[in-house]
Amino acid sequence: MKNKKIAIIGGGPGGLTLARLLQMKGYEVKVYERDTDQNVRQQGATLDLHEESGLKALIAAGLLNEFKKHYRPGADKLRVTDHNAVVHFDDHTNETPVEKSSASFRPEIDRGPFRDLLIASLEKGTVVWNSKFVSLQAKDNGWDIFFASGSTVYADLVIAADGANSKIRKYLTDIAPVYSGMTIVEGNIYNAEINAPELWKLAKGGKIFALGLEKSIILSVKGDGSLSFYTGTREMEDWVKTSGINFENKLEIYDWFKERFADWGNQWHELFVSDDSYFVPRPQYHFPIDQQWESLPNLTMLGDAAHRMPPYAGEGVNMAMLDALELVEQLTATDISDLKTAVSKYERTMRKRAAEITEVTMQSMENMHSKEALKFIVNTFHLIH
């Protein structure tokens, strides 16, 4: 590994954690990120880090104290409601101090501040912005990497951290993802206290799982005053194309919502009142649990690129960060003499772990959209607490 150039494609939590851990070991690494700069607004729900994975990697990266300055105590508090917004379980009544209940210490942090603290931990110039990946071409023992900007760089080792729609994965395997049967419409309501006041009050600074009639809405409050949400419904795989909905047109999405959630209470319509919002459909896929591929000495992947899965167990960011930690452990192990062995050991462990988490996630998704979803989830949370 000494004197080798390492390229990480993708500047999400997994890629940035990997860069930090490698730099701590003294390795030369660059992160190529397609965003034009660091100030691009980070979409999506808040992230909750788990003790055995995301937090473990964060501690190894020496960033726990920095994290504690930015995480949002209380943002992990959950209310479970039925389809009429009636609360059936309320985490806010659980007064156990969060730091002491370590098994359930799953601190929430917004994506933007989390990315900023990871970037701040890196050497200046580590992240190369506006680097949209186009292709790889084998050269010597490594790769030439081509970007949309016209630039080309060489790396001895490339790590794909480019997410669920990875463009690099195909250089390792042609195993295709499997449609889960569920499609999410993700939305974000800015200035939600004014634009969605009743749901803002209901969320109480934390999260809402609303379940009923085999559908779901998951809400989370973000530190910038916005409310992010995911609807969960069973749709055909090609629904986004065949529905005829223009997902850039709020009124068309609202028309769909009123029809699809007609048997839910009108409280949820508040999600579509404001124009200060965005929406994007996301069909949910996962990779086969038994996926295998031949390891290469100069290319590997982590996070969603390797094992994408629906967000129903909160494992995505945690798995990506644990991947980063375990990959660095193998790459820097003193008893491993060559890169292919290191990569192969990492990938074997990662695939086994991802298979187990995928099964848990798919079961959780089924449970949350079953006829008895509300009862199941309420019982689950009562057991935890």
To 5 degrees, how large is the angle CA 267–CA 268–CA 269?
95
**DSSP per-residue codes, 107-166:** -EE-HHHHHHHHHHTSPTT-EE-S--EEEEEEETTEEEEEETTS-EEEESEEEE---TT-
Judge whether 328 and 18 are in contact, CB under 8 Å: yes
Could you list the residues known to form a binding site for NADPH, using ranges. Answer: 41
Per-residue 3-state assignment (H helix, E strand, C coil) for 173-193: CCCCCEEEEEEEEEEEECCHH
**CATH architecture observed for domain 178-286:** 2-Layer Sandwich (3.30)
Q: Residue 296: which of 135, 148, 136 has the closest Cα?
A: 136
3-state secondary structure of 290: coil
Report the pLDDT value the prediction gives residue 10, as an integer from 0 to 100: 97
Could you list the residues known to form a binding site, using ranges. Answer: 41, 48, 111, 304
Return the bridge partners of 58, or none: none
Residues 6+ apart with CB under 8 A from 120: 66
Element (H, E) at 28: strand 28-32
CATH 3.50.50.60, domain 5-72+107-176+288-368, yes or no: yes
Encoding tokens for residue 107?
């601190």
Could you list the residues known to form a binding site for FAD, using ranges. Answer: 48, 111, 304
Q: What DSSP character marks residue 271?
A: G
Exposure string (b/e) for 187-198, b if CB count within 10 Å is 16 or more?
A: bbbbebeebbee
Phi, psi angle pair for 152, to nearest 5°: -135, 140
- Measure the CA–CA gap between 234 and 185, rounded to whole angstroms: 11
Length of the chain: 385
Residue keyed to tokens 């973000």:
222
Q: Residue 22: which of 319, 303, 331 has the closest Cα?
A: 331
Q: Residue 315: which of 45, 115, 48 has the closest Cα?
A: 48
Report the pLDDT value the prediction gives residue 279, as an integer from 0 to 100: 95
Encoding tokens for residue 205?
């600074």
Task: For the chain of 385 residues, list the mean pLDDT of each consecutive stretch of 10.
Answer: 91 97 96 92 76 94 91 84 96 60 65 93 97 97 97 98 97 97 96 96 95 96 93 98 96 97 97 93 96 97 96 89 98 91 97 96 94 91 71
pTM for the full model?
0.92
Report the pLDDT value the prediction gives residue 314, as an integer from 0 to 100: 80
Residue 348: how many CB atoms within 10 A of its CB? 13
**Residue boundaries of the structural domains of the chain:** 5-72+107-176+288-368, 178-286
Report the pLDDT value the prediction gives residue 199, as an integer from 0 to 100: 97
Query: In the chain, what is the greatest distance between 2 CA atoms, to the nearest angstrom?
Result: 63
Report the pLDDT value the prediction gives residue 47, as an integer from 0 to 100: 83
- Measure the CA–CA gap between 343 and 239, rounded to whole angstroms: 38
Report the pLDDT value the prediction gives residue 336, as an integer from 0 to 100: 86
